[in-house]
Structure 1
Amino acid sequence: MPPRPNPTIRQRRLGTELRRMREQAGLGGSQLGRAVGMSPAQVTQMESGRIGISVECLRTIAAACNCANRPLVDALADIIGDRGKGWWEAYREVLTTDFLEVAEVESHAQEIAICTTTYIPGLLQTGAYASAVFTRLYPPLSRTEIDVRTAFRIQRQQIVRSGRTSLRTYIHEAALRMQFGGPIVLAQQLEALIEDSTRPGISVRVVPFALDTFPGSGENLTFAMGMVPELDTVQMDVSQGTLFFDSPADLAKQRVIFDRLDSTALSEDGSRDFIRSIKKEIEASYA
């Protein structure tokens, strides 16, 4: 079977974990190849996600690397066994890979935690608010492109609105006041946010300006928890697109940031009251 031209983010992650497993065992690619009957080129392609392996091969590699982390190996076996296509594949020809990979990571997360400083988390945006966020991009998007991106974002929300995946959000006051689409759109978004905060499995916590310190450096972050901690993923939104991090050091750093947010943000009830107060201010501006 020829190498995959465009491996998915989960296929690449499987390869990354296999490389880490090999490196922790102190083996080179050629050494591992000899131990499991693969050529050095096949090892390289496997670790880049360009070729797949069987569950039996995975367990052979784990044994050759003296990997005793059974939960991790079982989780990697689940990735290998999952051959179904996600709903996001229908958008592959119309959206960039960033969009698809975000949906893929979210869809397989056990729990999602989000910290935002500039806008309401995408998983909780209304259609009008999401459309306004895409409208402000430069260079400008066409109406069709805006509508497709908005529809995609709304479809992503099903994993949390259905209760399948729990969601914790920490929203800075700045994000609550940014008027994408104007005051009416924002007021409607804040009302929807209050309603969402009462749904089972969705937690909305506010970080007000008055807080004397803000954990982290202010990026919009998503922490997607995998089947085991080793398979957690951090997503960072930047102007050029989306970045993903999965090194043990990056994961440890972001866990600390979210722990600090959890200990400093307003309570859920206090956050709802805070959002209501901002909504009243906004409504007063156009009453």
Structure 2
Amino acid sequence: MPPRRNPTRRQRRFGVELRKIRESAGLNAQQLSRALGIDPTQVSQMESGKVGVSPERVRSLAAACKCLNDPLVDALADMAQERSKGWWEEYRGSIPDGFLENAELEKHSIELLIWVTTHIPGPCQILRYTLEVFGRLIPALPRHEIDARTAFRAQRRNDLRRDRKPITAFIYESALLTRFGGDRVLKEQLEALLEDSELPWMTIRVVPFATETFPGAVENLTYAVGPVPALDTVELESSRGSILFDAVSELEAYRAIFNRTERAALGEKESRDLIHKTAREL
């Protein structure tokens, strides 16, 4: 099978983890290729995500590198078995690739932690609210692009709900007041958010203005929990698109940010009371 021309972000991450295992053993690509009985170029293609790897090859590689992290090896072997394309592939070419990578990241996570300061979290957005969020970009997007992004976000939302993906969303109080689409749209959005807060797999907590100090990052964040900590990923939302982090030091820093945010946030009942009060006053 010819090498992949454009491996997905998940396929590249899989290759990066194989490279980390090799490097932690102090082996170069030539040495590993000899241990596995393969061509050195194949090692390079594996580590760049350009070729598929069987679960058996993953375990052989781990054994050659004397990797004793069994949970990580098992998780990588599971990743190696993934062959089917995700629903997001039907949007390729009509919206930026970063959107597709976010959906892929969410699908394969076991839990999502979200921190937002500017708008209601994507998994909780109603259609009209989403249209207004994408409609305020400068320069303005063509209508067909707004519609494509809105439809894609709606499908991401539905996919997470179908999977009952555990989600904890920390929302800075300012996001409850920002009027994307005006008072009526915001009121509908807050009422929908209240309904979401009652779902058994969804936790909504508000960080109020009155908190002692600003607890989180300035940017909107998503912490995607992987099957093992080494496969966690952080998505940072910026005006130029998403930035993804998976280095050990970065993951530790963002875990600390979310721990601090959790301590500053209102409880679930108090958060519902504040959301209800804000909606009532619109």
- TMscore range, shorter length: over 0.9
Q: Secondary structure at the match of 1:118?
A: coil
Residue type at the aligned position of 1:60:
S
Instruction: Tell me how far apart the structure 2 counterparts of residues 179 and 122 of structure 1 sit (CA, whole Å).
Output: 16
Q: Could you tell me which residue of structure 2 aligns to residue 150 of structure 1?
A: 150
Paired residue for 1:235? Answer: 235
Q: Which amino acid aligns with 1:96?
A: P
Distance 1:51 1:83 in 2: 12
Alignment of 1:75-114 (within 5 A): 75-114=75-114
Q: Which SS does the other structure have where 1:212 is aligned?
A: coil
Match of 1:114, SS state, is: strand
Q: What are the Cα deviations for residues 25-83 of structure 1, in whole angstroms up to 9, with x where unaligned?
A: 11112221221123332222211111121111111110011101111111111111011
Give the C-alpha shift of residue 234 in structure 1: 0.6
Q: Which residue of the partner structure matches residue 247 of structure 2?
A: 247
1:1-287 paired onto structure 2 within 5 Å: 1-162=1-162, 164-281=164-281, 283=282
Question: Is contact 2:112-2:167 (8 Å) kept?
Answer: yes
- Per the TM alignment, residue 256 of structure 1 is displaced from its structure 2 partner at its CA by 1.1
SS for the counterpart of 2:237 is strand
Q: Which moved more, 1:157-166 or 1:232-241?
A: 157-166
Contact kept? 1:163, 1:201, Cα under 8 Å: no
- Structure 1 contact 160–202 (Cα < 8 Å) conserved: no
1:116–1:172 CA contact under 8 A, matched in 2: yes
The unaligned stretches of length 5 or more in structure 1 are: none
Helix, strand or coil at the partner of 2:217:
coil
- CA–CA distance in 2 between the matches of 1:163 and 1:202? 12
Aligned to 2:243, what secondary structure does the other structure show? strand
Structure 1 residue 161 displacement after superposition: 2.3
Mapped partners of 2:4, 2:138: distance in 1: 33
Residue type at the aligned position of 2:160: V
SS of match in other structure, 1:157: helix
DSSP 3-state at the match of 2:76: helix
TM-score by length of 2: 0.97
User: Which residue identity lines up with residue 55 of structure 2 in the other structure?
Assistant: V
Asked if the contact 1:163/1:200 (under 8 Å) is kept, the reply is no
**Aligned-pair CA distance for 1:226:** 1.0
Query: Shift in Å at residue 163 of structure 1?
Result: 5.0
Matched positions, count: 282
Assess if the C-alpha contact under 8 Å between 2:217 and 2:257 holds in 1. no
Contact 1:11 1:49 in 2 (8 A): yes
Q: How far does residue 90 in structure 1 lie from its aligned partner after superposition?
A: 0.8
- What root-mean-square deviation, in Å, do the aligned CA atoms of Structure 1 and Structure 2 show? 1.2
* CA distance in structure 2 between the partners assigned to 1:200 and 1:227 by the alignment: 21
